[in-house]
Amino acid sequence: MLKWVFTLPEQLKPGRTRAAVTENVAKAFAELALRLRERNHEPHQVARFISQLLYCMFAEDAGWFEDKHLLTDVLEACRKHPKYCTATLQNLLTAMQQGGLFGTTPIDNFNGGLFAQPHVLPLEKADIKTLLQAAHQDWKDIEPSIFCTLFERGLDPDKRSQLGAHYTDPLSIMRIVKPVVLEPLQTDWEHTKANIEAMLKKSHSKKTLKTAQNVFNSFLARLANMQVLDPACGSGNFLYLALHGLKDLEHKANLEAEQLGLQRQFSMNVGPQNVNGIEVNPYAAELARITIWIGHIQWMLANGYGVNRDPVLQPLNQIDCRDAVLNEEGTEPQWPQVDFIVGNPPFLGDKKMIYGLGEEYVTQLRRLYKARVPGGADLVTYWFEKARTQLEDKKAKAAGLVATNSIRGGANRQVLDRIQNTGRIFDAWCDEPWVNEGAAVRVSLVFFTPDWHTETFIGENQLHRPALLNGKPVGEIYPDLTGSEKANGRMNLTVAKPLVENQGVSFIGTQKNGPFNIPGHLAREWLQLPANPNGCPNSDVLRPWANGIDIVRRATDTWIIDFGTGMSAEQAAFYEQPFEYARQIIKPTREGKREERANLKWWILQRSRPKMRDALKPFDRYILTPRVSKYRLFGLINVFYQIAQRLPLPATTIPLLAFSTLAFTNYGLYACVRG
């Protein structure tokens, strides 16, 4: 082996990583769940049955069965005698429900809620083969946080399209868990240890040792009472890693205290009771409990600690399957009182909320939070406001949440304004890659504490330490997730006000709300057609179209069908090809919309901006800038273009000499904030 280090290092690489093993097993279980659902078995029965089987596999590898190959032998017998499979598995799961004999083999009481209702679904030969292959894996190599995320996608019909997609890796999750949960507690232990060392340096008398022991025991008691909440816990990844971090710290403290001559504890007090979750999806809530159970037991066994045997599993009722931001009766849900809040709340833009959640739900949600969250804010902001309220009401000490990077501006940013008004953003990453629901996205990571707990949370003598923005020290972090070099040292753009001078001069561009855009080749084809029955050419209603991508990248050669601001259907119909296209393609997407102008005037852009059109009539070109862009960019564009929600300025209202320096002036900074 030593020779390989210098000559053939590739030989030392494992053939299959822990993540790869986990992905393969999760895929097999997801395929089994799909087959069972295709046979019309009730989805929740499928989820519960397969969850019980996967836990049996883990229990077998953990050595909890007196017969070390009990489940594997049972599945092997089922493969040979399929007609006895259902009854045999039912007997096994029933024995695990409350303890007892399975044949002549004693079985511990597992229960904990997972085995409360053992119900075996009929299995076919292919199903048994899948289970046997999974049972032969080494379940000590299974990573619960990865497994349950991937398995959830197989169980939940709404997430099946995500099978094979990426998942949020543990290192990314720890970027939230570490600064919020672990670093303050690690600092607490370092201070406690330094205090103990100082006492013992002066004296080793019995009285001093007793005092030092009490100081150590007090730290352990504080740690054992810590509570972490993930209010959108999914399959439990954040809670699993938070629990591991707490247990690692407890273990470390015991070892270091023992080195100082103190009595260590011989059992671990930190456990699943320290984590809390809220999850609306019943599949995910079930898997979150399994993630935490397995993760806890894996850690205990890996670190040489024993595990309770009667029952093996404790109920995890604190993983609550319910909506975190709206009760069924339209009232605001209560979150449990905890120490830390972490998580990755759901991402859904405000324009997509009605389609994704239903109009009644969204109306109730916005009515409930109307004084705290603006109506045009994304769904994720409601979790931020709830977390802020928990901190303000002294029901939590710190929070760290993931949001889309759009939380830095517009209506979304108002929730960060409220956080800043009642507390402090002590750490943030403003624009980071992330994986959400299997898709690669750009996010902001935001960490905050309330005013009342800032000094305690940061630690003694560290109140004035710099905040961290994108990993670098700053004096203060503003609600738009920019920062000052030192406190009050940089312009805080979040306090910028609308300029009266811009009224009637700057506008947001048009909003289609329908597939009005067409490719350039089709537009040119229609432009070459003879005049329409009204004697007018199609160029009256066809215009080149530009959005932010056309400014920050290359032009996309996209055109738009634009019947102006008030053209009637009868008038529009004279433009035969464009109107027929609109009737077939656009009309079906606009019918049934809530707004009358979108529903009844389906051929007109939903926001056609008549005031903007009037303001631009005297000009042949104008300046525009993307509303959503990492950098403030400006472009000159011909007035013939129709533009998507941009910010156009008539070019003659600004000296053209100044145009080249717009992006480098205070106007550029102002436009970043106010649009």
The token pair that represents 623 in the structure block: 């300046």
Chain segment 484-537, per-residue pLDDT in tens: 765 445 566 666 667 777 677 777 888 888 889 999 999 999 999 999 999 999
Stronger pLDDT, 638 or 193, i.e. the higher one: 193
Tell whether the model's pLDDT for residue 461 goes beyond 50: no
C-alpha torsion sign, points 343, 344, 349, 355? negative
Tell whether the model's pLDDT for residue 102 goes beyond 70: yes
Grouping H, G, I as helix, E, B as strand and the rest as coil, residue 514 is coil
pLDDT at 279: 92
Total Cβ atoms within 10 A of residue 198: 10
Which residues fall within 8 angstroms of residue 246, CB to CB, at 6 or more apart? 181, 182, 185, 223, 226, 228, 270, 274
Mean predicted lDDT score pLDDT of the chain:
82
pLDDT at 179: 94
pLDDT at 438: 52
The token pair that represents 587 in the structure block: 């009309």
Stronger pLDDT, 9 or 141, i.e. the higher one: 141
pLDDT at 8: 46
Mean pLDDT along residues 397-410: 92
pLDDT at 654: 42
Q: How far is CA 272 from CA 175, 261, 275, in A?
A: 21, 30, 6
Tell whether the model's pLDDT for residue 458 goes beyond 90: no
> How many Å apart are CA 174 and CA 168, to the nearest integer?
10
Chain segment 53-83, per-residue pLDDT in tens: 888 888 888 888 888 889 999 999 999 998 8
pLDDT at 403: 93
Tell whether the model's pLDDT for residue 116 goes beyond 70: yes
Question: Which one-letter DSSP state was computed for residue 117?
Answer: S
Exposure class string for 326-340: b at 16+ Cβ within 10 A, else e: beeeeeeeebeebbb
* Predicted structure pTM score: 0.78
Chain segment 210-250, per-residue pLDDT in tens: 999 999 999 999 999 999 999 999 889 899 999 999 999 99
pLDDT at 155: 58
The token pair that represents 93 in the structure block: 């799961």
pLDDT at 485: 65
Q: Which of 296-310, 321-335, 564-578 has the lowest mean pLDDT?
A: 296-310
Asked if residues 241 and 173 have their Cβ atoms less than 8 Å apart, the reply is yes
Please, which residues bridge with residue 356 across strands? none
> How many Å apart are CA 259 and CA 355, to the nearest integer?
60
Q: Specify the amino acid at residue 138.
A: D
Chain segment 612-653, per-residue pLDDT in tens: 888 888 888 877 777 766 667 777 777 666 666 554 554 444
Q: Which of 251-260, 418-427, 549-558 has the lowest mean pLDDT?
A: 549-558
Band the pLDDT of 414: cuts 50, 70, 90. Answer: very high
The token pair that represents 579 in the structure block: 């109107």
Asked if residues 203 and 250 have their Cβ atoms less than 8 Å apart, the reply is no
What sections of 303-358 are H helices per DSSP?
353-357
> How many Å apart are CA 373 and CA 385, to the nearest integer?
7
Asked if residues 194 and 72 have their Cβ atoms less than 8 Å apart, the reply is no
The most confident of the ranges 2-6, 226-230, 535-539, 571-575 is: 226-230
Band the pLDDT of 175: cuts 50, 70, 90. Answer: very high
Tell whether the model's pLDDT for residue 544 goes beyond 70: yes
Total Cβ atoms within 10 A of residue 674: 15
Which residues fall within 8 angstroms of residue 508, CB to CB, at 6 or more apart? 607, 609, 627, 645, 646, 647, 675
Tell whether the model's pLDDT for residue 339 goes beyond 60: yes
Mean pLDDT along residues 363-373: 94
Stronger pLDDT, 642 or 190, i.e. the higher one: 190
Band the pLDDT of 13: cuts 50, 70, 90. Answer: low
